[in-house]
Amino acid sequence: MSSSERDEKKDQNLNGVDHASANTASNQAPAKRRLESTELAAPTSSPKKKKAKQKSASINILQTTQPLPLKEVREFMLACLQPSVQPPGWAHFTNRAKINHVALLYVHGLTESMLKPPPYINGIFEEKYNTHVAGNKKSVLRDPFFDLIQCPMTKSAKRRQMAALKAKTLRPKDLMLDHSQLVAYSYPIHSYHQADLVLPEGWMETTIDKSKMVEDPTRILSMDCEMCVSTKGRVLTRVAIVDRDGKLLLDELVKPNEPIIDYVTQYSGITEEMLKDVTTTHEEAQQMVMDLLDENTMLLGHSLDNDLSSLRIRHPFIIDTAVTFPHPSGPPLKASLKWLTNKWLSKDIQNASTGHHPVEDAQACLDLVEKKLRQGASFGIFQSDMDSILDHLSDASQPKTGAILCTKTMMNTRDQSHANQDDSFSITADDDELANQVCAKIKQKDLVVARFRFLEETLWQQPPKQEIEKAVLRFHDYVKKIYDEAPAGTVVVVANGGGNRRKYNRQVQGVL
């Protein structure tokens, strides 16, 4: 690696820990390893809001000549909450039992050059420490976020997990999202789940006659929609539905009410020529879909929340392949339908240069689910060596609670953050809401992990320096708000996910 490459990597990550005292560590990365640099910062005071005549917790981070491995930062957070966990050698605790909460604030793109001289981030952090993400010249760097929120799974835990999956016989309704999952994944909520909801103007929802509902429904319809961009945002331009026999029930082009400004043909497969003579309105397409749904029909799709929102339809019984088939790295990632089909069906889809075809996508979802129903709950589940940090906490001898909070990314609406059936994973609309959620959750949970997106998305747009400075200050304000509102005995960790990881990965792929 050239010296310029090393210098670029040194200016990539910044972590902060709320503790009593620490010494500045070296900024030098090991010369013989390809590293992604980061830093760890110490605040000016010990865990806050000490009670009179009661010793508070303190953490002394020792000076080190080597960057701290990011996995040790994860172990440090676990050690704060679990007395049985041996802390890293560089962290010395006093009165560790007084630590009640840990908040990890993760922001991709914050670099050392963006920080003013100490104390850093609104005067909270006095010192900073390097950490690194290891890599090599033959591999790309994955998102360091997952090194912080995933832990090695024990052999016994893996055996229990797979035994439970293999023992379970699946029915179609076992794959349906429940009410809390529908909320967490931002699905339109049907009045079947929440009776007091008002149906917005222009929306339709399935009529559910509970007297006609069967105990074990088997009817599955697989749906996929294609959208284009209009003057008022994303609009429906095609909808397709396939039944379990592979019969095509619906494949309709739709003429939006608003003018289209971008056909996004490379994804939607829709062209101006295709819609030129189309007369089917959005409302007519809505009704065509509604005519196929009833109280015993499960609607299947991949990230179907987007499709239903575009259709403006509410249906209570949903199977989502993005949930049924988890990403190999676990939440908050979702695997693409193309990847799932290749991995689990050994088929290639979405290869046409003319864009996606909704019938192909709908059939792929159906094929995935049918195979899972035949082979059982373990099909489509990776035997990962890693476990969620939240599961690790809850399975401990002294169980702890946690939550992972993320914002929707405007860079890829189909790669949304994962959420599960309880409040362990949550999606917020923006970083403002995220900061408020952290303030609320840290009073309820032992560990709160929050991934902020505004700075990352600002840098993505390559704006003027002034806009970057505003984004940095905005994040500083979030940190101060969370720090000020956190309860007594809270450890705050600020971590940056690296610099231009995409640029680095492109360089590696170019060499390969």
Confidence of residue 15 (pLDDT cuts 50, 70, 90): very low
Q: What is the largest CA-CA distance in the chain?
A: 80
Could you tell me which residue, 348 or 331, shows the higher pLDDT? Answer: 348
β partners of residue 21: 60
Q: 405: helix, coil or strand?
A: strand
Could you tell me which residue, 394 or 330, shows the higher pLDDT? Answer: 394
Q: Which element (helix H / strand E) includes 15?
A: strand 15-17
Q: Once rounded to an integer, what is the mean pLDDT over residues 215-236?
A: 93
Q: How many other CB atoms sit within 10 Å of the CB of residue 265?
A: 17
Q: Once rounded to an integer, what is the mean pLDDT over residues 27-37?
A: 30
Range ranked top by mean pLDDT from 21-25, 39-43, 151-155, 344-348: 344-348
Every domain of the chain with CATH number 3.30.420.10 lies at 172-375
- Residues ≥6 apart with Cβ < 8 Å to 496: 12, 13, 14, 15, 38, 39, 106, 107, 108, 109, 110, 111
Q: 87: helix, coil or strand?
A: coil
Q: Once rounded to an integer, what is the mean pLDDT over residues 164-180?
A: 83
Return d(Cα 73, Cα 511) in angstroms, integer: 31
Closest CA to 449 of 494, 387, 481: 494
The CATH code belonging to domain 172-375 is: 3.30.420.10
β partners of residue 34: 135
Burial 88-99 (b: 16+ CB within 10 A, else e): bebbbbebbebb
Q: Tell me: the pLDDT tens digits for 456-494? A: 888 877 888 889 989 999 999 999 999 999 999 999 999
**Residue positions counted in the chain:** 512
HEC string of 245-308 equals: CCCEEEEEECCCCCCEEECCHHHHCCCHHHHCCCCCCHHHHHHHHHCCCCCCEEEEECCHHHHH
Q: 241: helix, coil or strand?
A: strand
pLDDT at site 402: 94
pLDDT at site 407: 82
Measured CA distances, 175 to 185, 297, 433 (Å)? 15, 13, 31
What pTM was computed for the model? 0.57
Could you tell me which residue, 337 or 30, shows the higher pLDDT? Answer: 337
8 A C-beta contact, residue 367 and residue 345:
yes
pLDDT at site 388: 81
Name the one residue in this structure whose structure tokens are 């939550």: 403
HEC string of 408-466 equals: CCCCCCCCCCCCCCCCCEEEECCHHHHHHHHHHHCCCCCEEEEEECHHHHHHHCCCCHH
β-strands 91-94, 125-135 pairing: unpaired
Closest CA to 333 of 80, 133, 146: 146
The single-letter code of the amino acid at 53 is: K
pLDDT > 90: what percent of the chain? Answer: 45
Tokens at residue 316, please?
Answer: 């209570």
Confidence of residue 501 (pLDDT cuts 50, 70, 90): low
Strand runs labelled E in 26-113: 34-43, 58-61, 68-69, 91-94, 101-107
Q: Once rounded to an integer, what is the mean pLDDT over residues 140-168?
A: 72
